[in-house]
Amino acid sequence: MKKIVVTGGAGFIGSAFIRHQLKTYPEIHVVNFDKLTYAGNLDNVKECDLGRYTFVQGDIADRGAIQSAMEGCDAIVNFAADTHVDRSIMGATDFISTNCTGVYNICEAARELKTQRVLLVSTDEVYGSIREGSFKETDPPQPRNPYSASKAGGELIALAHFETFGTPIVITRGSNTYGPYQYPEKVMPLFITNLIDGEQVPLYQGGEHNVRDWLWVYDHASGIDTALRKGELGQIYNVAGGNERENIVLTHKLLSGCGRDESFIRLVKDRPGHDFRYSIDASKLRGLGWTPTMDWDQGVSETVDWYKNNEWWWRKIKSGEFLEYYRKQYEER
């Protein structure tokens, strides 16, 4: 592959994937196509090699814009998505537009342009909750909130496109991802930045013992790359960190890393339909040669240190719209 389009490349995982591509493949040129919504941030890709990197602002819900950006590319990797569960509960229209209509537009453009590979980045949340064991790719989606339902819908659109038109679709479903440059509405950066500022962290009451599997962002990027280059068309690949932790365990880990005690925990009303446990089996992707490399304790420590050392990045984010959303989401509970 000489040229790939990365949609949503100014976001958290998308920007990590771009950095991974430019570092790993000296011959590749990356086109970053991003709408620059609230979570899109060009600071995330400021270090990219401008000689092999192009930025195009646009929306995957705009068929003409995405097709124009895809002209001459060998592959497209779609990270563009509305992703935050709480925001989807407050209103899901944008989620459906991006996660369903946007995926359809990418598939249609790929069919017309005869793009060699289309990889859709999805989430383990499409499976729903599981008490014991781990979901495999053959398990049916059972989404339990508007966000995960819209992601499952986009997957079905893409897989139907593969079956009907032979569009070269590959899908990845990743577990909870963490690391540098994550927008601070997500739990790790929200908690870390709150604790740095001496503020309490809003832990869902009833969700303290919910379980998530944590995946280092660069391990996620390499897993997506493995599926892109080695995955079978029409197939789904789980990307799992293998680091299942209760939310309360994560919270204590972040308290310790920031030098705070339990008085900084504030229990808030649980979200509707809160999934108890996510767990996915990544043996299929491991069979292609991928394996995660980051130890969880080390990864969390590095993440805490990154936010401590990069206040320039997050302080300008945690103002304005973010503070208003934060107030509505947590302070009123």
Nearest alpha-carbon partner for 329 in 286, 271, 273: 271
**CA–CA dist 232, 23 (Å, integer):** 25
Question: Per DSSP, what are the bridge partners of residue 325?
Answer: none
Tokens 């590749």: give the residue: 28
Catalytic residue among 127, 147, 218, 307: 147
- CB 31, CB 5: distance < 8 Å: yes
Catalytic residue among 34, 59, 82, 125: 125
**CA–CA dist 285, 292 (Å, integer):** 11
Catalytic residue among 34, 59, 82, 124: 124
**CA–CA dist 205, 70 (Å, integer):** 45
- CB 237, CB 284: distance < 8 Å: yes
Catalytic site includes residue 147: yes
Nearest alpha-carbon partner for 12 in 155, 194, 177, 124: 177
Tokens 């705009």: give the residue: 62
Question: Per DSSP, what are the bridge partners of residue 239?
Answer: 174
CB-neighbour burial class of residue 50 (10 A; exposed 0-12, middle 13-18, buried 19+):
exposed
At 115, the amino acid letter reads: T
- CB 279, CB 130: distance < 8 Å: yes
Catalytic site includes residue 125: yes
- Report the side by side order of strands in the sheet with 169-174: 53-57, 29-34, 3-7, 75-78, 117-123, 169-174, 235-239
Enumerate the active-site residues: 124-125, 147
